[in-house]
Amino acid sequence: MNLAESPKLEDFGHDVWWIILIKVVGIFAFLVVMTLFTIWYERKVVGRMQHRPGPNRVGPIGLLQSLADGLKLAFKEDIMPKLADKAVFFIAPVISTVCAFTAFSIMPLGGMVSIFGERTPLQLTDLPVAVLLVLACGGLGIYGIVLGGWASGSTYPLLGGLRSAAQMISYEVAMGLSIVAVFMTAGSMSTSEIVAAQANGSQQEIFGSTVTLPGWYFLMLLPSFLIYFISAVGETNRAPFDLPEAESELVGGFHTEYSSLKFALFFLAEYINMVTVSALCTTLFLGGWRAPAPITTWWAGANEGWWPLLWFTVKVLILLFVFVWLRGTLPRLRYDQFMRFGWKVLVPINLVWILLVAGVRVAANADNTVRYAIYGGFAVLLVGIIMFWPAKKQVEPASIAPEKLPEGSFPIPPMDLVVPPSPRTKRIEHAAAAPSATPEQGE
């Protein structure tokens, strides 16, 4: 593996204008093609899971179905609700789409490559705090959804927008905390340097002995990886966390009143966000654009030239498959369960895990007294959490006292209510049990 091909922060900001233009157009084309492919990919995978063929009419094995749907949306009538705030109604999907495209600008797609003789990183740009740019774009994208629901002048889109704002902000907190351990381990917030830090295993001293930890962070920081991916599913409004778009409750959520290209922009932003969080997960936890170890052992040039773009895309597609897998497998959560899971489970586990990682890193550079004091503190903390974790109280339905309702209010059925059978069911059972009449008796 040629580590000299890894770009550094000093390699950015020196490209000529036409190289920058090629990169911008290339990233735009990559995201649009990935969106079209992901829609087809999702339909085929869910169809296979449900024993259906999926798209198979437009193009070979239905590959052009997503393009046909996009053209259909473009030619649909663009309806503007009478009570809508026209300016905000128009700009809301634009905000979501622009933020979704901008967040991908710091993703490292490969190492150093040659484009028409110019040596340049296969990445549009990089910053010392590049990962924070993705979180910032995700936070700004919430404005598009909230404003779209508010500007529609309708109840259900407003409820969907408020739900989405609360959901995305809550899981943005968990997502941000989940990558703190990556920053501490890599020593940088730059995406290119995080990928370079995962090139080789790191040496860490644990309990007085030197241990070689694996290169990719998804093994070393497994809790962070799991919490990040759960938060990413919730932050992108995907099933089983698609509560802002719950068809059974909110018709279509924040985009109920949208049609034609405006609806297509919201649709595009959602799928680009899926690609972006998958690409960020690949960068932070799966070694970025580097090929897995079995390939690099027998092929020295696997991480050189344009080949890293292939490994990066394959890793992103594997993570997108998990998105689709969850949609076809798990039922939608109740809203209070979903919010409780984010604030009372993911965030506390994140904080304890960050404390543990920081303690291990401090203990590795401390003397034995401090080291054993830190490990003893962690043991006491763990025992305390196990012993004093509040148990969920089981309330028997019979012990619940009926509420006294104010006069004029509607009655509430008791908790142990048994619904009587339908009279129609009784008539059907009675007719089935009666002896059949002969034609003479009928006459």
Residue 122 lies in a domain: yes
pLDDT in tens, 308-363: 999 999 999 999 999 999 988 888 888 788 888 888 889 989 998 898 888 887 77
- Give the structural domain span for 138: 71-387
- Average model confidence (pLDDT) for the chain? 82
Residue 310 lies in a domain: yes
- pTM for this model (two decimals): 0.81
Q: Give the angle subtended at the CA of 406 by the CAs of 403 and 412, to the nearest 5°.
A: 45
pLDDT in tens, 58-67: 889 899 999 9
Q: How many domains does the chain have?
A: 1
153: left (phi over 0), alpha (psi -120 to 50) or beta: left
Residue 361 lies in a domain: yes
Cis peptide before 411 (omega within 30 of 0): no
With a cut of 50, which residues of the chain have pLDDT below it?
1-4, 398, 439, 441-443
pLDDT in tens, 155-187: 888 888 888 888 888 888 899 999 999 998 888
Residue 343 lies in a domain: yes
- The answer to whether 26 touches 121, Cβ cutoff 8 Å, is no
Q: What is the distance in angstroms between the CA of the first residue and the CA of the last residue of the chain? A: 94
Residue 322 lies in a domain: yes
Element (H, E) at 112: strand 112-115
Rounded Cα gap, residues 164 and 149, in angstroms: 10
Q: Name the percent of the chain in helix, strand, coil, to the closest 5.
A: 65, 5, 30
Residues in a beta bridge with 205: 210
Residue 405 lies in a domain: no
Type of residue found at 7: P
Mark out the alpha helices in 187-306 (DSSP H runs): 191-197, 217-220, 222-235, 247-250, 260-285, 293-298
Mark out the alpha helices in 53-179 (DSSP H runs): 65-74, 86-103, 130-151, 155-178
Residue 404 lies in a domain: no
